[in-house]
Every structure is written in structure tokens, then in C-alpha cells.
């Protein structure tokens, strides 16, 4: 099914304007998003582009039809950080990247992200990268020097820097560029570099080596989506140098100004008002939050409350409010069949440059009006209130009467013996598991709060 009459507008970084989205081919809409470098668990900031572009993917499928949208997101599995992790841990590189790739898919799945149609790994596309580099040399846009191949920025000086809005001269003045004797221009960037025997390497016309960071996305998007495609997305931290360099490589290889038509960038994430950093102790992986009892659906709703182009602040208060909202919505829609499509106002907000905050306001309105079927269909479009995401909400309806009875008996006994240590121990354990403990003469009531984790009750 498609709702082709909906006009999607997207803020195009390339033109700095909000533009009506017109796909090159409405029956083959194509999107590429830069994915993770797989050497560790994904942190909360890594999850933001995944959720943002998952929402765009869902919207495109809704408007053009599920079978007519192709979404590719890469895994960078050749990188100096991975090599360093392998050297430090003594584990094989392939083992580390396979494990961390699966972790990423598992953790993002918990946040309700659909898997892209293509998830290419850089190591599977080395021949295509070598071919593209060879082509760039042949066209005069790259040169080999001392086992390296570098992109010659001067060969494309007119256009280089347009995406990020910088001139080459400004960039050289302000950039922390890697100065190397074999570079003709300090801004020239590496397409290929030599590998020592202890590092991953592939044979090439320039000797055994490995690709630079930027070439992989150019080669993989070309291979999977063609030389021109509709949307290229990623975090705004990738705008320069990564996306700028991708554009330079791809346009020069294509021999014209064609590559991605619309460029979308999401803003960064903070935690409790501060930039996430290990030194501040506010650095979380997605798995950390899931293990602390924050359901994936709750994390997703917190993310969607902020427009993707605004900095997002993760706070515990927001998570607790999101959890309360989702419990209310799930209670309202329990056993209800969703409407045949999302509410018109919800689609309109989503089509307006992914105004997810506006969508959530509409969901609150539908809930207040008691339109359970409309609420369910509209929330489903955002990847919320789905059956797959609901296990956490079903969990707290588990039978807590046994725990209530144990605590009540312990309390009765303590009233006689005046020895309250067992009551305190049980109560502390129940609170630690995320339950609110209400005790009265009549009995004990346990109420699941935000972050209730039934696993913590085991062995009580």
C-alpha cells in the first residue's frame, strides 16, 4: 500500500533548505546511512541516527510502499580502532567485529529499529574500493605516493567544502590535518594506506594495504544503490570530513555532480544536560540502559520527543515520563484492532521533516479523545505500541502476590519480635527491583514503577 499523495519535505544540508522530496524513481526509493565502526558496544549517541533514519525509512515505506524502498547502512569492520582493540585484547579481528556487529543489531532491534535491506561490511567490498581508487587515479583526481594513494583536493577545489560550508583555504588554516611528506596539499586525504604484516591487508596495485575511511561508503553506495540515489544520512559529526570526502570521491568517479540528492544530518545527544563522556561518568551504552531496566520502547519514545535536528538530552526524568505515557497508551489500546492507517495529522507532522515531537503531541490528542484504534495505527507507524516492543509492559502484570504475602508475614512477625532487619532487607530488594512498596495495616501492595526489572526479584 502507498499513500503517494503525501508531500514529504526534508531539510537538505546540501542546499540548506527544506525541500519537497521528489525521488529519482518512485518505485525504487534509495537511502544510504553511515553505520557504526564495530569495535565495542554502541553508545547512546550511536543509537540516535539509527532511530532517526528508521523513522524516515518507515515513512518512505508508508508513502511509496514497503517493497519500493531500499535502505543500506554499512558496518565499518576495517579500522585502526578495531586493530588497536585486537592488539590490546589478543583476540582475532574477525572475532571482535563479528561479535560487535551482532551486539549492534541486537541492541538496535531492542529500540524497535527495522533492519535495513542491505548491511554491507567494508571488508566484503575491498575489490570495489580498489577499482574506484584506480579510476580516480586514471581521471587525475588521485595520486599514489609511498604506498599510499591520496585524493587530490585541488582537482575538485571548486566544489570541495560545499556541504559543510567551508572553503579549502579556511579548512587548511583551521584543520587538524595529518601532515605527511608525500601529500601535495595538506587537505589531500587517504584513499589507501600500506599495512604492516600484523595488520589486515589486501593486495592492490599500490602494494599490500587497506582502504582509508571514506572510500568504503562511496564504493558500497555505488555498488548497492547506483551512482545517483535519493537520500544520504548520518550524524552531523560526519559532515566533515567524512561526507565531504565521500561527495568528492563519488562525484569525481562519476564524472559529474551526481551522488546523493538529499543530505540529512541529525544533531548530537547529551546526557542530563552535558556532553556524554567517560570522565563525567555519564557515558552509557544502549545495553547499559537496557540492563538497568529501561525498556527499549521507552528509550525510543524519549528519542522521538526531540526533533532530529536539535540536540537531544537524555534524562532520567524524561524516561520515567515516557514509561508512564506508554503504560497509559498500552492500557488504552489493549485488545484493540488498529485503524486502517495512521491519523492524517500524524502523517502530516511526520512528512514535515520528521517532526516527531509534533507526532507525539498528536498521539496524546488521540489518546485524550479516546481514539484507541487511531492511536494504535499512528503509534505503530513510529515503531511504538507494537507487539514485539511490548514484553516489558506485560512483565509488570506478573503475579506479585507471593512477594506481597512474604513481606506482610515478615512485617507481622517483626511487630511481635521487634526485629525488623528481614523486613528492611525484603523491602530494599523490592525497591531495588523497581517496585513501589505500599504497606498498611490491611496488607502490602507492590506497584511496578519506571525501570521495573523482574529479573532482580529472582532468589528473593
Render pLDDT for 292-304 as a digit per residue (tens, 0 to 9).
Answer: 999 999 999 999 9
pLDDT band at 270 (very low <50, low <70, confident <90, very high): very high
pLDDT in tens, 198-226: 999 999 999 999 999 999 999 999 999 99
Predicted pLDDT of residue 396: 46
383-399: average pLDDT? 81
pLDDT band at 175 (very low <50, low <70, confident <90, very high): low
Question: Does residue 166 register a pLDDT over 90?
Answer: no
Q: Does the N-terminal peptide bond of residue 241 adopt cis geometry, omega within 30 degrees of 0?
A: yes
**Do the Cβ atoms of 193 and 212 come closer than 8 Å?**
yes
d(CA 30, CA 49): 17
Looking at residue 57, what is its pLDDT?
98
Map out the domains of the chain as residue ranges: 9-266, 293-394, 398-457
Residue that is written with C-alpha cell 491519523 in the block:
343
φ/ψ of residue 233, rounded to 5? -125, 170
Residue 1's pLDDT band, with cuts at 50, 70 and 90, is very low
Other residues' Cβ atoms within 10 Å of the Cβ of residue 250: 25
- Three-state DSSP at 73 gives strand
DSSP 152-167: -GGGGTTTTTTTTT--
pTM of the model: 0.86
Among 384, 395, 355, 360, smallest CA distance to 296 is for 384
Q: What is the DSSP letter of 117?
A: S
The architecture CATH gives domain 9-266: 3-Layer(aba) Sandwich (3.40)
Q: Quick: pLDDT tens for 53-73.
A: 999 999 999 999 999 999 999
Q: Would you say residue 383 has pLDDT above 50?
A: yes
A 10 A CB-CB count for 218 gives 27
Amino acid at each position: 500500500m502507498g499513500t503517494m499523495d503525501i508531500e514529504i519535505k526534508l531539510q537538505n544540508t546540501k542546499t540548506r533548505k527544506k525541500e519537497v522530496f521528489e525521488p529519482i524513481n518512485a518505485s525504487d526509493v534509495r537511502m544510504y546511512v553511515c553505520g557504526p565502526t564495530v569495535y565495542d558496544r554502541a553508545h547512546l549517541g550511536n543509537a540516535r541516527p539509527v532511530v532517526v533514519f528508521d523513522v524516515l525509512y518507515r515513512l518512505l515505506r508508508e508513502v511509496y510502499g514497503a517493497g519500493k524502498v531500499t535502505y543500506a547502512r554499512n558496518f565499518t569492520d576495517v579500522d585502526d580502532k578495531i586493530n588497536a582493540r585486537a592488539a590490546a585484547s589478543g583476540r582475532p579481528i574477525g572475532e571482535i567485529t563479528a561479535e560487535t556487529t551482532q551486539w549492534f543489531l541486537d541492541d538496535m532491534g531492542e529500540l524497535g529499529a527495522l533492519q535495513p535491506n542491505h548491511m554491507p561490511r567494508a571488508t566484503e567490498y575491498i575489490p570495489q574500493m580498489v577499482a574506484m581508487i584506480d579510476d580516480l587515479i586514471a581521471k587525475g583526481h588521485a595520486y599514489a605516493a609511498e604506498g599510499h594513494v591520496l585524493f587530490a583536493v585541488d582537482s575538485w577545489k571548486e566544489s570541495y567544502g560545499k556541504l559543510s560550508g567551508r572553503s579549502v583555504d579556511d579548512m587548511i588554516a583551521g584543520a587538524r590535518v595529518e601532515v605527511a611528506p608525500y601529500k601535495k596539499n595538506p587537505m589531500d586525504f587517504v584513499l589507501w594506506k600500506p599495512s604492516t604484516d600484523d595488520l589486515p591487508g589486501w593486495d592492490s596495485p599500490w602494494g599490500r594495504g587497506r582502504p582509508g575511511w571514506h572510500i568504503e561508503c562511496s564504493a558500497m553506495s555505488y555498488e548497492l544503490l547506483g551512482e545517483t540515489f535519493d537520500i544520504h544520512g548520518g550524524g552531523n559529526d560526519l559532515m566533515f570530513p567524512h561526507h565531504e570526502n565521500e561527495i568528492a570521491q563519488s562525484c569525481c568517479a562519476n564524472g559529474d555532480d551526481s551522488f546523493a540528492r538529499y543530505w540529512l544530518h541529525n544533531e548530537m545527544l547529551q546526557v542530563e544536560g552535558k556532553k556524554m563522556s567517560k570522565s563525567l561518568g555519564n557515558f552509557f551504552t544502549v545495553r547499559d540502559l537496557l540492563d538497568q531496566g529501561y525498556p527499549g520502547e521507552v528509550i525510543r519514545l524519549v528519542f522521538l520527543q526531540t526533533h532530529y535536528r536539535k540536540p537531544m538530552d537524555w534524562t532520567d526524568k524524561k524516561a520515567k515520563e515516557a514509561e508512564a505515557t506508554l503504560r497509559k497508551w498500552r492500557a488504552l489500546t489493549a485488545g484493540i484492532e488498529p485503524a486502517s492507517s495512521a491519523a492524517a495529522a500524524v502523517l502530516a507532522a511526520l512528512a514535515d521533516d520528521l517532526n516527531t515531537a509534533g507526532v507525539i503531541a498528536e498521539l496524546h490528542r488521540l489518546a485524550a479523545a479516546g481514539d484507541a484504534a487511531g492511536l494504535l495505527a499512528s503509534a505503530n507507524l513510529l515503531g511504538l505500541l507494537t507487539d514485539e516492543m511490548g514484553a516489558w509492559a506485560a512483565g509488570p502484570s506478573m503475579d506479585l502476590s507471593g512477594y506481597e504475602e512474604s513481606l506482610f508475614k515478615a512485617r507481622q512477625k517483626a511487630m511481635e519480635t521487634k526485629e525488623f532487619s528481614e523486613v528492611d532487607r525484603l523491602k530494599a530488594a523490592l525497591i531495588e527491583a523497581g517496585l513501589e512498596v505500599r504497606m498498611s495495616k490491611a496488607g502490602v501492595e507492590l506497584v511496578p514503577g519506571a525501570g521495573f526489572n523482574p529479573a532482580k526479584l529472582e532468589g528473593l
